[in-house]
Every structure is written in C-alpha cells, then in structure tokens.
Amino acid sequence: MQFDVFHSLGRIDDAAEPRTDRQVFAQFFAEVAAADRLGYGTMWVAESHFSSEVQKHGAAPVIPHYRGEVGLNCDSLQLGQLILERTKRLGFGTAIMNIVGGNGGPIAAADRVRTLAWLNSLRDEPRRLSIGIASGRFPYINRPFGIVPRSQIEVDRWPEAQALIFIEALTIFLRLLSGDTLGSQDLDLRDLRYADATPYTRRWEFERLKLVPEMSPAEWTRCLRIVLGSASPQALATGFKWADVDVFNLSFTPPAAIEKLHVDLASRCTAPRLPWHRSRLPRTVMVFIDRDPGVAEARASACFDTYIEAMRGTAQVPDKGVLMQRALIGTAADIRAQLAPGARHGFHPDDRLMLWFEFNQTNGSQILDQMERFSDQVLPYVTV
C-alpha cells in the first residue's frame, strides 16, 4: 500500500483558530517538510482560482455558507517547483489542475506541464510528478476565460456542453503533451455530439503547434503521470486513446463502485497500454488519528459538520454517517484494522491513498502530530 498526503490549501475563517493567508502557507510548508521527512510519497495539492468570498456576492454563489477561501493555490506548477526545491525526495501532485479555463486553456496548460516535466528531468534524481487534470472546481473560474455559452443549444444544454468542452480540451492537452504537432484542423471531433446527436462546435482554433524543448514520450512518462479527474466513459475513452492515464478518485466513493471502476480501467489497459494496477487509482481519505479514540471521533464529527454546513444547498454530499464510515478514525491500532483487507472500508494492499490530515482543521501542531503518529504507528505495518 502506498501513502501520499493531500492538502486543500484553503482558509477557514470561522475556525476556532482562523489564520491569514501567510499563516496558511507557512503551515502548509511545515507539513510539506514533515511529509518529506516521514516517508510519504507525494504531496497532492488542490487548485482553485479567484476569491470564493467575493464570488458569494455574485448572481449564483457556489458555496454561500463557506466562510473563508476554499483554495489559495492558484498556480500549481509554480508551487510544485517550490515544493521540489524545499524537499529531498517528496513527489508532487495536482488535485486537480484546470485545463479548460483557470490556467489559460489546454494549450497553455500542456506547455507549462511539459516545462515542469523537462525541468524535473534535468535533476540528478527526478521526482515523481502526478498531474491531475479536470475542467475546474466551479464554473465561475472558467467564465473569465470565455467558457460561456456561444449558441442557443449551449444555453439550453450547458451542463452537457461543458462536458464536451472538457473532452476537446483533454484531446488538445494530451496530444500536445505527447509531442504531437497539432492544429485545430488536425482534431477529429466528429464523435463529439449532444445526446440528440447534434454535432458539437469546436471551441479552440489554432494553427499547428509543437511544444519545446524536445522531449520523447519515454522521457516525460518516466517521471510524469497524468491523472484524469473524471471517470465518465467519454473522458476515460479519450484519455486512454492518447495516453496511459491514471484516474483520480474521491473519498466518498463506495467500495463497490471502486471495485467496478478497477475492472473497467483494467479492460481499457490492453496492449500496448501499461497494465492496470490499483495504485493508478489514487484515492483521497480523511484521517483523524489520536491516542484517545474519543478525541479522534469528536474531531472527525466536528470537521464533517463544518463540511456539511459549507456545502448546504450547493453540492450533494453523503450523510454524515457515511462520511464517518469512509474516513480513517481512531487510534493507530484502529486505523491499522480499518486498512486491513476485508474491513468495511474496502481497502486493498495495492491501493494508493492520499491522506487528508488537514481536512477542515487549522491547528498546525495537531495536524503534524497526526502525520507523525500515522507514519510511526501505521505506515510501517501496511506499506509494501
């Protein structure tokens, strides 16, 4: 079993110990240093753009009950470079990088990711890069970049249109990243259609481009994994058509759905693809570990209450009981049992988990203590 760390890099203003943006980043880098020292594999960082507090005053607030900034990382690749410079062995991952709007669209995103991979390849010991990609956390992030309805059909079917926009962006991103010389005239988007078979109209028009510096697929795939932040059949088909993508998964997914997804992904990885392995489906999981199981339980309960209130009326989330069941909660011995094969959590010895220690928590010493406790008392017993 492989263990990474996930970090939201958000600011919670109604927490018992609210922090400034500088304090949030200072604590984040303390956790980065701890993750590097304690033997975790990769630091995954959430990405967002623009103030969610300001957006609350717009016409369609997306998280009206959340007080603070849902995400302070607006440039994953610059942040990644800083993380690599401050650590000795820790990998870096994005969860998730916007390739539709927030980072300037698929061409700019591919250009920057390839540059990061190139610079990483120049290191004496290149680090593992896991670049999770998707269409962005909220629609308001993409609108300033022109991702708005352009026709009546897009007005009428905007959710469906957004899904097709992502497929176009994904195709451009993966093909440029792989080294193709590509122009919009080279894109065959005839299969992109609405549910009633109405053809999709391409969004990006550009002359033939090729990314530099020169880098073969073998070179960039040696230390770079692209992690698809969508399990929709169309996104998976497109992703696997152009690359050996991994797939990102969230904590809330039921174990049975996870197993079904593994079967589907294995069926897509036929020759000449890399064989599917469970570690290619990294999964977030909230962790609340303490020497006192009652303290861990109370902390988890309070954090989920905060989350449920923040998402009220915005996103459909599982019941609190389900959230508590999917998290790792208790003493080190409790969590070792929860990670064991056959336990109700449904984990497998070959899984790769992104441990979310700071989920709705702001007490830096508590977070670091949990990272230490998990590393010392759990990780040695379940790492393979």
CATH code of the domain covering residue 142: 3.20.20.30
Task: Say what the pLDDT of residue 16 is.
Answer: 72
In a domain, 36, yes or no: yes
The proportion of the chain whose per-residue pLDDT surpasses 70, expressed as a percent, equals 99
In a domain, 159, yes or no: yes
CB-CB contact of 64 with 56 (8 Å): yes
pLDDT tens digits along 313-364: 766 788 899 999 999 999 999 999 999 999 989 999 999 999 999 998 889 9
In a domain, 233, yes or no: yes
Task: Say what the pLDDT of residue 185 is.
Answer: 94
CA distance 353 to 308: 23
DSSP for 194-215?
-TT-PBPPP------B--SS--
Task: Say what the pLDDT of residue 272 is.
Answer: 85
CB-CB contact of 7 with 43 (8 Å): yes
pLDDT tens digits along 25-81: 999 999 999 999 999 999 999 999 999 999 989 888 888 888 889 899 999 999 999
DSSP for 41-77?
-EEEE----S-HHHHTTSSS-SSTT--EES-----HH
Task: Say what the pLDDT of residue 240 is.
Answer: 95
In a domain, 91, yes or no: yes
CB-CB contact of 283 with 352 (8 Å): yes
| Torsion of the alpha carbons at 178, 180, 184 and 187, rounded to the nearest 10 | -80
Task: Say what the pLDDT of residue 383 is.
Answer: 65
**pTM given for the model:** 0.95
The range of the structural domain enclosing residue 214 comes to 2-283
Encode burial over 69-89: b for 16+ CB neighbours within 10 A, e otherwise.
bbbbbbebbebbbebbeebee
Domain count, the chain: 1
pLDDT tens digits along 292-319: 999 999 999 999 998 888 877 766 788 8
Computed on alpha carbons and rounded to an integer, the radius of gyration of the chain in Å comes to: 21
Provide the 10 A C-beta neighbour count for residue 3.
24
Mean pLDDT (whole number) for 235-257: 92
In a domain, 151, yes or no: yes
Could you tell me the CA-to-CA distances from 352 to 97, 152, 247, 285, 348 in Å, in that order?
20, 44, 11, 10, 9
In a domain, 251, yes or no: yes
In a domain, 158, yes or no: yes
Quickly tell me which residue has 């988990």 as its tokens.
Answer: 353
CA distance 265 to 280: 10
Exposed, middle or buried by CB within 10 Å (0-12, 13-18, 19+), for 315?
Answer: exposed
CA distance 48 to 75: 8
Three-state SS for 118?
Answer: helix
In a domain, 369, yes or no: no
